[in-house]
Amino acid sequence: MKKVFPFLAAFLLLFGWNGTARAARAERIVSLAPSITETLDALGLMGSVVAVSEYDDYPKAARSLPKVGGYSTPSIERILSFRPTLVVGEATFHGQTLSRLSKMGIRTISLTLHRSLGQVEEALKILGRELGRKEEADRAIRKIRFELETLRKRIRTAHPGGVPSVLVIVWHDPLTVAGRTNYIQDILTRLGIPNAANRIVFSFPQVDRETVLSLDPDVVVLAQAEKGMAITQESFQALFSGLPLRAASTGRVVAVRSDALFHPGPRVLEAARLLTEALEKGGKPRVP
């Protein structure tokens, strides 16, 4: 790079040529979703976060931060009370809130993370660029891609005759599964694990027991959130008692408890490892 004169370097630094000035202005951040908080943490910005949603409990520092309301019901008054210089939310859930804050002169960033790993990577890029953490964002993305590919190879090696299919159930009343267009499906795809519910086009469709029987998964994963949704082995067994669900009759039902499955963000690697371990516990080559 050509030498930059001191006064020009100062000018570029002051007006955000490298993102540093922007990061300094955004030192009081309110995060409206756990996924966003976890993304900020991955970029080393938790020290700038002054408030989060009621469902934030990761990283540990988020548990003691003030709360601005529920995931879909943040309080404008509470947000304003923390004098934020930046509010970051999800486009689908916080669009109106962000719009109102923007009209009040508060800087906002609207992200979309809940459907795919591509969106998770894009969120890292956006926040990295806007908050002067581009290198950290690039490093996080490289790590995600590398470790997912490592897990994919591990799974493929363990199942040379074909990887068992998995059905991820996230709730039992009504019975709800991970369908084709969601974050969990994208993780399964990256890992090379067939999603038994891939033919169902919705993100998290409600299904009946007959549909589950027709999907005939090799392995059933019961996804359990730390807070809120947590289908148990008991509730699952009660639903399918006496029915010819092969995964249940052969003991290939595995419970996985982690918010990483429900919070699309940099913890995707935790979610991927848990799904890989669930496959290893319950997965066996499919018997014709």
* The pLDDT of residue 10: 37
Domain residue spans in the chain? 6-111, 161-282
Residue 167 has pLDDT above 80, yes or no: yes
What is the Cα 246 distance to its own chain's centre? 30
SS3 for 4-30, per residue?
CCHHHHHHHHHCCCCCHHHHHHCCCEE
pTM: 0.84
Residue 238 has pLDDT above 90, yes or no: no
Q: What is the pLDDT of residues 168-210, one digit of tens each?
A: 999 878 889 999 989 999 999 999 999 999 999 889 999 999 9
- Same topology between domain 6-111 and domain 161-282: yes
* The pLDDT of residue 229: 61
Residue 24 has pLDDT above 60, yes or no: no
Give the residue-averaged pLDDT of 257-266: 89
Residue 7 has pLDDT above 80, yes or no: no
Residue 20 has pLDDT above 70, yes or no: no
Residue 9 has pLDDT above 60, yes or no: no
* The pLDDT of residue 286: 44
d(CA 20, CA 14): 8
Residue 116 has pLDDT above 80, yes or no: yes
d(CA 220, CA 196): 9
Look at 21-25, 53-57, 196-200, 214-218 and tell me which has the smallest mean pLDDT.
21-25
Range with top average pLDDT, 103-107, 224-228, 230-234, 278-282? 103-107
Give the residue-averaged pLDDT of 21-35: 75
Tokens read off for 99: 């719009």
Confidence of residue 284 (pLDDT cuts 50, 70, 90): low
d(CA 210, CA 243): 9
Q: Is the distance from CB of 108 to CB of 86 less than 8 angstroms?
A: yes
Tell me the torsion sign for CA atoms 256, 258, 261, 262: positive
Tokens read off for 83: 């004098």
Give the residue-averaged pLDDT of 54-60: 93
Give the residue-averaged pLDDT of 243-262: 88
Confidence of residue 28 (pLDDT cuts 50, 70, 90): very high
Class of domain 6-111: alpha beta
- Mean pLDDT (the chain) is 87
SS3 for 137-198, per residue?
HHHHHHHHHHHHHHHHHHHHHHCCCCCCCEEEEEEECCEEECCCCCHHHHHHHHHCCCECCC
Torsion-angle region of residue 84: left (phi > 0), alpha (psi -120 to 50) or beta? beta
Class of domain 161-282: alpha beta
Residue with tokens 């934030």: 56
Give the residue-averaged pLDDT of 81-103: 95
Q: If we measure between CA atoms, which residue out of 212, 204, 199, 211 comes closest to residue 182?
A: 204
Confidence of residue 114 (pLDDT cuts 50, 70, 90): confident
